[in-house]
Amino acid sequence: MSDQLPAPAASNTFERIKRLSPDGHESWSARDLARVLEYTDWRNFTSVIGKAREACANSGHTASDHFVEINEMVDIGSGAQRAVEDCRLSRYACYLVIQNADPSKPLVALGQNYFAVQTRRQELADDAVLKEGQTRLLLRAEMKKHNKNLAGVAKQAGVIQPVDYAIFMDHGYRGLYGGLGSRDIHARKRLKPNEHILDHMGSTELAANLFRATQTEEKLRRENVRNKDQANRIHNEVGRKVRKTIHELGGTMPESLPVAESIKKVESREKKRLKAEQKKSLGSKPDTGG
């Protein structure tokens, strides 16, 4: 029988030292990672971090998003502490660090496999979030356009005063949301007073509301409605028919769909991403001289 001990599971080893912030963001301490990888000299490990940081920048990422310099207090005995330099690493940063680590270290090979798999999983998850965000941005822009169009057609039907328009919109929401008006939806979604319900709808919910708005707009225009009470009835009727369609297709009712993060955050993130891609594209263009 072999006396060789089984290799430690990478998932257990690297998950054990993972840190989670109060808002759920994960990170790893470079000091913890160095100990796990059996680097006894911190200076040797900082050179590995330097290579990883360079690789991060060369791949088009912003290194400061993945490598955050910090100071941590450590015990030195008798209740005293002193500050030591450390670096907070993202999962991607850990992957790059281990790719540049000494391959003769026992856990480096395991770490390379673990973080390669986990990083790929995160990339796929990020891609899904990115696509959902882009779809939301598109649908939210369409909602703004068609709500403006709807307001114009409703005005021709006698929905002129702000209070009349609020009532008109509530009729549409009540039809689509099973009797819930805008205030009810706001309360059910537990949104803050200054948060707009459309800004916190996912793509599925936005699409349902866009269909409600466009079909109401077309019906009011087609039937040349000139009475605000009739306009209210039509808006409610269209909302109910959209709801019925969702039910017949086995979909989730809009009031039960999850609250999405603010569209303003999605928009800000998308602008940063496009700016980074543009910067990366400009940096990769060959120098043709002149």
Same domain, 175 and 250: yes
Same domain, 262 and 133: yes
Same domain, 154 and 93: no
* Segment 103-117 mean pLDDT: 76
Same domain, 95 and 36: yes
Beta-sheet strand order (sheet of 18-20): 18-20, 26-29, 80-89, 67-77
**What's the pLDDT score for residue 269?**
86
Same domain, 179 and 258: yes
Beta-strand runs (E) in the chain:
18-20, 26-29, 67-77, 80-89
Strands 80-89 and 26-29: antiparallel
Whether 114 is in a domain gets the answer no
Whether 281 is in a domain gets the answer no
Find the domain containing 25 and state its range: 10-106
Same domain, 175 and 211: yes
Total domain count, the chain: 2
**What's the pLDDT score for residue 8?**
41
Tell which residue, 173, 142, 31, has the closest CA to residue 94: 31
Same domain, 136 and 100: no
Lowest mean pLDDT: which of 95-104, 148-157, 209-218, 254-263? 95-104
| Chain segment 70-95, per-residue pLDDT in tens | 988 777 777 777 888 999 999 889 98
| Chain segment 143-200, per-residue pLDDT in tens | 999 999 999 999 999 999 999 999 999 999 999 999 999 999 999 999 999 999 999 9
Same domain, 74 and 146: no
**What's the pLDDT score for residue 3?**
41
Same domain, 29 and 71: yes
Same domain, 240 and 155: yes
Whether 284 is in a domain gets the answer no
CB atoms within 10 A of CB 134: 14
Whether 122 is in a domain gets the answer no
At 27 the three-state DSSP class reads strand
pTM above 0.75, yes or no: no
Instruction: Find the distance separating the first CA and the last CA of the chain, reported in whole Å.
Output: 72
Same domain, 80 and 21: yes
Whether 280 is in a domain gets the answer no
Same domain, 100 and 202: no
Whether 199 is in a domain gets the answer yes
Whether 246 is in a domain gets the answer yes
